[in-house]
Every structure is written in structure tokens, then in C-alpha cells.
């Protein structure tokens, strides 16, 4: 089983070749269900369960219905006038993220350890526990302390700021998947020394069009893309990559094989979405 604990959001994605500062920009804008936790959960091709929190407002109720139709979910419902829907706003410029903003207070402030533990149960050594950095630092730290060593714990850093706030808890991980900027914020020095000190088995560095680099058991392996896709919107590509890596590991492939196959899968998806 792959357990994903993290954020669900209402995505608002604006796409344009170039945004002009200080004025309104006509754009292609889409709205839909998103969030790092949701996108990883949706991309997993193995038995899976999503654990998250949502409010009880109309937008959150719509999101809950959509999630429950998509598969096995455990949703902690939060009631009250102050609780609103989680939101993610992004500007995509020429296929790359220009800037984004998120409001995941409902997950950060309301998702509890007791609820997550009941949903995850006695995850074993063949299971995966994927934690995204939208969780509250105290919750993530307690989950890592509880499950690391018992199951394969995977950390998705999400952003530079959110990655940094979880630094103290990042120990005994099976895998983490930072971008170059996120990795620099977590480990500005010798990465293998950092991994040894923290008992982190593998780091998969994601570099966009440059491909990925796997750090594992003292070796570095580069995985170049087979073809580069010029996509107008790359939102969620890293989440899809992680979902597929975990899926292929779950079915028994080794780590290098899983990364190569996952990259091919993401490239094919982007190519299909970008075709006229």
C-alpha cells in the first residue's frame, strides 16, 4: 500500500508566454483539484490511500466528493466559520513556474497525528508513506519518528521555504525528491555526508528539462530525458514523477529502473498534453 499524507487544494493556474508586471494580464486560467498530496495520490499506480484535511464549506465539500470518487481517502473534516478551502495560485510563464502562492492552513493547523495514525495503521516494510512538506512541522516530525524504519518513508519538499522548516525531522528516510534550489536549502555542503549523518537512503534531484540525478549508496547516476517537451503548463510534473517512482518500486523494480521508467512516463504525459 502507498499512503500519501498531505495537502489537497483548489488549483488556479494562469498560463501565458510572458506576464507583465503591475497590470492585468489576459491569460488562459484553469481551475481544478490539485495540491501536492492529491497529485501524487492520483498518479500512483498501486494500492493507495490519501490522508488529508478539508473544511466543510461548499468548495471543500465539492473537493471531498471528487476525492471520494477517485479512490481510497481518509479526510479529517474541520468545521467552523474560520475554516476555508485550501487554495493554490500559480502563474506559468512559457512552461515554467514564474511565481506561486498557497494557503494550506486547513492541513497545517487541523490535520492531527491521531487521525493520520488511524488512517495509516500498521504500515509495514513493503508499504510506502509519502509525506509532503505542506504538513505542520510537528506532525511531520512525529510521523517520521513513528514510521521510519518500519516502512519506507518518502519526503516531498514542495518548496524551498517548506523544505527548510522540516530540516530537523529529516532522518531515516527512504527517499526524498528535491529540486536543485530545495536541495541547496537543505544541504549546502557534502550531500553524501549529509545522507550518512541523517540515514537517508536515496535523494532524487529533479532538474526539469535537464533530467534527474540519483544519489544512492555513494554513487551518482544521471538520467537524461529521452526527449524534451515544451509544455505550456508543467504543474505537477515532479509530483507525477514521484508517484510513478513509488509505483514501480512497489511492484518490485530496483530504484534506478523505477526512476528511468517514471521519467519516460512523465515525458509521455507532457508530450500528449502538449500536442495540438
Above 90 in pLDDT, residue 231? no
Predicted local distance difference test score (pLDDT) of residue 261: 95
**pTM to 2 decimal places:** 0.90
What is the Cα Rg of the chain in Å? 18
Residues 6+ apart with CB under 8 A from 142: 113
- Contact, 38 vs 9, CB < 8 A? yes
Backbone angles phi, psi at 79, to 5 degrees: -105, 155
- Contact, 16 vs 38, CB < 8 A? no
Helices 58-70 and 36-43 meet at what angle, rounded to 10?
A: 20
Place of cell 483539484: 33
pLDDT one-digit tens code per residue, 58-99: 888 899 999 998 789 999 998 865 667 889 899 999 878 899
Residue 116 is classified by DSSP as: H
Q: Which of the four pLDDT bands, split at 50, 70 and 90, describes residue 272?
A: low
Query: For residues 257 and 260, what is the distance between their CA atoms, to the nearest angstrom?
Result: 5
Single out the residue of 114, 28, 33 nearest to residue 69, CA to CA.
33
Please state which of the four CATH numbers 3.20.20.70, 3.40.630.30, 3.40.1190.20, 3.50.50.60 is assigned to the domain occupying 36-56+112-274. Answer: 3.40.1190.20
Amino acid at each position: 500500500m502507498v499512503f500519501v499524507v498531505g495537502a489537497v487544494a483548489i488549483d488556479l493556474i494562469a498560463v501565458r508566454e510572458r506576464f507583465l508586471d503591475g497590470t492585468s494580464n489576459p491569460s488562459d486560467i484553469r481551475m481544478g483539484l490539485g495540491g501536492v498530496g492529491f497529485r501524487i495520490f492520483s498518479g500512483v499506480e498501486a494500492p493507495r490511500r490519501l490522508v488529508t484535511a478539508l473544511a466543510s464549506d461548499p468548495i471543500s465539500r465539492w473537493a471531498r466528493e471528487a476525492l471520494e470518487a477517485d479512490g481510497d481517502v481518509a479526510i479529517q473534516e474541520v468545521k467552523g466559520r474560520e475554516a476555508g478551502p485550501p487554495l493554490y495560485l500559480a502563474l506559468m510563464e512559457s512552461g515554467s513556474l514564474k511565481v506561486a502562492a498557497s494557503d494550506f492552513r486547513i492541513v497545517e493547523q487541523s490535520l492531527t497525528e491521531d487521525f493520520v495514525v488511524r488512517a495509516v495503521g500498521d504500515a509495514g516494510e513493503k508499504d510506502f508513506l509519502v509525506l509532503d512538506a505542506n504538513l505542520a512541522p510537528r506532525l511531520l516530525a512525529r510521523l517520521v519518528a513513528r514510521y521510519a524504519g518500519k516502512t519506507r518513508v518518502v519526503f516531498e519538499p514542495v518548496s524551498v521555504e517548506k523544505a527548510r522548516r522540516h530540516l530537523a525531522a529529516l532522518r531515516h528516510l527512504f527517499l526524498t525528491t528535491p529540486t536543485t534550489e530545495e536541495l541547496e536549502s537543505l544541504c549546502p555542503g557534502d550531500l553524501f555526508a549529509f545522507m550518512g549523518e541523517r540515514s537517508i537512503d536515496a535523494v532524487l534531484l529533479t532538474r526539469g528539462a535537464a533530467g534527474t540525478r540519483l544519489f544512492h549508496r555513494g554513487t551518482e547516476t544521471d538520467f537524461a530525458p529521452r526527449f524534451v517537451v515544451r509544455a505550456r503548463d508543467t504543474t505537477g510534473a515532479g509530483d507525477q514523477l514521484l508517484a510513478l517512482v513509488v509505483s514501480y518500486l512497489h511492484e518490485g523494480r530496483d530504484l534506478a529502473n523505477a526512476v528511468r521508467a517514471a521519467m519516460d512516463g512523465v515525458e509521455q504525459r507532457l508530450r500528449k498534453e502538449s500536442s495540438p
